[in-house]
Structure 1
Amino acid sequence: MIAKNKQEILTALKKSHGLLTKIISMTENELYCIDIIQQVSAAQGLLNSAKSSLLENHFKSCFAEAFESKNKSKQKKMTGELLKIFSIKK
């Protein structure tokens, strides 16, 4: 994994974890729904950021390596994985 991406991913995931703990507590304490929804939206944003960084890392490392290798089996596997991730192929 690319070091820059790894740090971005870990930061976003750790912040998400903290927010999820807060959201659970807010829900258990029956705080105002809109406040909870705002925190859920913030957590989703952080998770989307982590997902984007993971995809970027995958494209720049594993995916690039597979296509540079000219190995048709690896290329097919990588293409299938991406189609699955983007819900184009189940």
Structure 2
Amino acid sequence: MHQCSDGDDGEVSVRSSHHSEKLKTNLTSRLNRIEGQIRGVKGMIEKNVYCDDILNQISAIQSALNAVGKLLLESHMKSCVVERIQEGDTEVLDELMKTMSKLIK
């Protein structure tokens, strides 16, 4: 689990999260694979690979990005959101709803 903070001096500023090393490693690994897949799609386009094959790769990339988003969202909800609600900050729910709407477009 990670902790959330509003800044070093307790003053509300840009919020940050401190993810566990396990989560950071997992997310970084997944993003590195996605980055490689994107480079692969670029190469496929340059080599005039059949469009359907490229579209299938794009679909796989979108699924992989969704999986990264779900992991991060789960972590966020279990830590930052819970913490802010416990502190009486219910605005986090509006923020969460907006974020979720963007994720599930």
TM-score, structure 1 normalization: 0.81
Q: Does 1:39 align with 2:57?
A: yes
Give the structure with the higher percent helix.
1
Q: Give the length in aligned residue pairs.
A: 84
Structure 1 stretches of 4+ with a deviation exceeding 3 A read none
SS in 1 for 2:101: coil
CA RMSD of aligned residues (A): 1.7
Give the structure with the higher percent strand.
2
SS in 1 for 2:33: helix
Q: Quote the offset at 1:79 in angstroms.
A: 1.1
Residue number in structure 2 paired with 1:49? 67
SS in 2 for 1:30: coil
Q: Does 1:87 align with 2:80?
A: no
Q: Which has the higher contact order (CA 8 A, sep 6+)?
A: 1
Q: Quote the offset at 1:56 in angstroms.
A: 0.6
**For structure 2, which runs of at least 5 residues remain unmatched after alignment?**
1-18
SS in 1 for 2:39: helix
**For structure 1, which runs of at least 5 residues remain unmatched after alignment?**
none
Cα distance in 2 between the residues matched to 1:86 and 1:33: 31
Q: Does 1:18 align with 2:36?
A: yes
